[in-house]
Structure 1
Amino acid sequence: MTSPQPIVVFGTGGLAKEVTWLLEDTEETSFSIEAYVDLNPVAPTFLGRPVVSEETYLRDLRIQCPEAILAIGDPTAKRHLATKLTGHGVVFPSITHRTASVNKTVTVGSGTVICRDVIFTRDISVGQQVYFNFRCSLAHDVTIGDYVVVNPHACVSGMVEIGDDCVIGAGSVIRQGIKIGEGSTVGLGAVVFSDVPPGVTVVGNPARPMWRKES
């Protein structure tokens, strides 16, 4: 058996706890968390492992530990950090929990995380740095852009298109063939029956616009 690959986790918040659980909740993990990286560390350790600054990681740890997972929920902040780290040679593996059901026709970009009991049927395309929380599902011919967050129990029907930097709320349902514009948010438990323009937050059943991001 090969030794686990060392990896660092960027972030020390709730999502970092979820990512740690994902990496540890396996019979034979492929990764070993060496440290957590925080832009402004406030404690020397997190979940029993050292916390280092971004500067310290890039200077002292990157060469021996070039792989990282970004446990950051905000798509804009995550995109900015990923772009910066890529320029320093940091690599972002995709990670899939052993209980997820992902058809062989599914394509997944770098840095994407697929949590426990997620279901992907077939002919699905997923971009980079997407986070799928536990027990969400994607049906056939779905396309998802980069830096998207899909929260627990979200149900995405067939032929849906979700643009970059979107957040799909827990327990939401998106009808077949719907397009979710770039930078939009589907609220908690929303039921989406019509297309969502870019930068819009929709809530309710049926989902209606709540507000639009400033351009």
Structure 2
Amino acid sequence: MSDLLPDHLIDGYKSFLEKRLPGERQLFRELAQQGQHPKTMVIACCDSRTAPETLFDSAPGDIFVVRNVANLVPPYEPDGEYHSTSAALEFAVNSLKVEHVVVLGHGNCGGIHAALSPAVEPLSPGDFIGKWMSLLDPAVRAVGANELMTGRERQSALERIAIRYSIKNLRSFPFVAALEAEGKIAIHGAWVDISSGELWAMDPGSGDFSKMIDE
């Protein structure tokens, strides 16, 4: 076992050097020299099962990705605190000039489960995850109070509500709202079923989700 990096990461890097890098060496050189110019930003969950680059079969430099617990976008609050997602959004929109922002949720999200089950250790209300997920408190109370829904239905519903919530918060950022009004940026919502690989996209008008491709 290596003391520097886990063995599986070293093995993966060796595979990258042998199989992928030779075919993309020129692309990496161009990206290093010319910088990145992605047209799309994806705000995704940090869940290890839902990598946007894999889902969209993207090459290096294609998409600008920020990942956090439950793919949430906080409201615009320039209060001097640390705002990683807000900073990434600002960079993507104002510096990289992305044309699309996609909020990508997924099934079986641990953050959403924690929001619906706040007493479950170690995801208690007093920890970092509990505080982060409190952004969804109004929706959590509404969904959690519906006794006609099963636990799985509540989970799925909140996963999609969280996407709509984040899109609403995206539009609270003045620079995003201004560019969207000018038709220079488009905002999208999507949800992926990690068990089947099905991708569902949100209708910008109704907020409903529909499967993108029928196999």
Q: TM-score, normalised by structure 2?
A: 0.31
Higher-helix-fraction structure: 2
Higher-strand-fraction structure: 1
Higher relative contact order (CA 8 A, sep 6+): 2
Q: TM-score, normalised by structure 1?
A: 0.31
Structure number with larger C-alpha Rg = 2
